[in-house]
A = this chain, B = another copy of it.
Amino acid sequence: MRDVDLERVRALPLFCGCTDETFRTLTTGAFLQRFPAGTTLLLEGDQVDFLYVLLDGMVELEGTWNDRETTLAVLRPVSTFILAAVVLDADGLMSAQTVERSDILMISGAAIRRVMSQDAGFAVAVAQEMAGCYRGLVRTLKNQKLRGGLERLANYLITQRLRQGGGATFELPHEKRVLASLLGMTPENLSRSLASLADYGVEVHGPSVTITRPAVLERLAKPDPLIDNHQPVTDALTGQAQQERWPLPDRGIRAA
């Protein structure tokens, strides 16, 4: 495994608080693998033996029931996934497959569980990461239960705009059918909803979206910091916990 990759992993919130020894223990048994697009990494119900760390590419997490299928999340580097199943040594509740060719680091789950009880700093980092993932899901569930399809889409666009720098034009990060599934609607309905957002200043050309009147769109979307995480995504902030900690600077002051 290349040093540059090791450093990227070491910089993850999940690993930056652990001891060198812990990190060495975890990475010596680990291996980095490259998967082509469309590879199924993990099937719902499978025993989970590894923690996965996405270093490059894109991964989709999905759930199925009764021949239906839904996208639960789409991951970008650098992210870890199925940590919860690893912590509890339980079966995975979702499937994972690559969307693009992806570089993925696989770390022994047994090693992670072993090391947690020896390195409190690492255990704390795992707890924080899990808490961040949990809060992300709470947001998703509220989004799903409280908003209608058009509102979910409008808020998604607003969030994307901010995450991609806040300019008027940005790119949809996935295929539209994936986006539809993520938003809990059919591709047909996503298409229609995008069309009807033209009235609110949204122009769509293929994967490129331009929001001409943000204020108008916001009046429809009613974004809410308790549902939408508008944190800008920077290189410095990876991992679910960090994303949930924002905006914590002033909290730190309050607590001090």
Q: Which chain B residues border A144 with CB–CB below 8 Å?
A: 141, 144-145
Least CB separation from A184: chain B residue: B145
Is A241 among interface residues, defined by CB-CB distance under 8 A? Answer: yes
Residue of B nearest to A93 (CB): B138
Residue of B nearest to A135 (CB): B84
* A224 interface contact, C-beta 8 A: yes
Cβ contacts under 8 Å, A245 to chain B = 88-90
Answer whether residue A123 sits at the interface, using C-beta atoms and an 8 A cutoff.
Answer: yes
Indicate whether A168 reaches chain B with its CB closer than 8 angstroms: no
Contact between chains at A146 and B64 (CB < 8 Å): yes
Main secondary structure of the interface of A (DSSP, over half): helix
Residues of B within 8 A of A132 (CB): 84, 88
Copies of the chain in the assembly: 2
Q: Let me know if A94 is at the binding interface, CB within 8 A.
A: yes
The verdict on A197 contacting chain B, using a C-beta distance below 8 Å, is no
Residues of chain A in range 102-148 having any CB-CB distance to chain B below 8 Å: 110, 116-121, 123-124, 126-128, 130-135, 137-142, 144-147
Given contacts A132-B88, A144-B145, contact A227 B65 (CB under 8 A): yes
The smallest beta-carbon distance between A70 and chain B, in angstroms, is 4
A19 to B: closest C-beta gap in Å: 12
Q: Does A11 contact B (CB under 8 A)?
A: no
Q: In the complex where A65-B142, A65-B227, A70-B142 touch, is A93 in contact with B147 (Cβ < 8 A)?
A: no
Selected contact of A241 from candidates B88, B135, B224, B255, CB within 8 Å: B88
A63-B141, A89-B251 known; 7 new pairs, CB 8 Å cut-off, are: A45-B226, A63-B138, A63-B146, A90-B251, A93-B138, A116-B124, A123-B127
